[in-house]
Amino acid sequence: MHLLEARTYAGAPGETVTVSTEAEGGGAVTVTIDGVKVSEDPTFRMKLDSGDETHMHVGLVGAVGDSCVVDISEVDGGSDGDLLLCQSLDPAPIHKYRFIVTATASLDALRRTRSSRGRRKATARRGGRKTRKVR
């Protein structure tokens, strides 16, 4: 699965998504997937048809300063984290996440584009600098 933008992911049909939540300070965490309340640490599969979406909401209710870390994996070879924080102006934050099914060929093209972009940046950094020996 790949991170497209904040809280929006693209994955292959049927790909497994693992979510874990960790509340600090005593707040209560609620997770819903497509409107259905699930466990605080759900695992689910992406839908099967390209263009289909799964929507997940993570909510936290607690005292000011309570927080919840959300970990979503596997994203771009690792995991992606998010933080919900109860504040005086937002004592019950809810973050919304989108999981969009994309054809495998499109995901492969995205992976190639991102990896070649990383190689170009590394080459540009190395190629633009010369070192001198100082005596």
What are the pLDDT digits (tens) for 94-115?
A: 999 999 999 988 988 888 887 8
Q: Is residue 132 part of a domain?
A: no
In the chain, how many domains are there?
1
Would you state the pLDDT for residue 131? 45
Distance separating alpha carbons of residues 19 and 1, to the nearest angstrom: 13
Mean pLDDT over all residues of the chain?
A: 89
Which domain range does residue 8 map to?
Answer: 2-122
Q: Is residue 90 part of a domain?
A: yes
Mean pLDDT along residues 123-133: 49
Would you state the pLDDT for residue 116? 73
Q: Is residue 128 part of a domain?
A: no
The overall pTM is greater than 0.95: no
Q: Is residue 52 part of a domain?
A: yes
Quick check: 46 and 53 in contact, CB under 8 A?
Answer: no
What are the pLDDT digits (tens) for 38-84?
A: 999 999 999 999 999 999 999 999 999 999 999 999 998 899 999 99
67, burial (CB in 10 Å: exposed 0-12, middle 13-18, buried 19+): middle
Q: Is residue 59 part of a domain?
A: yes
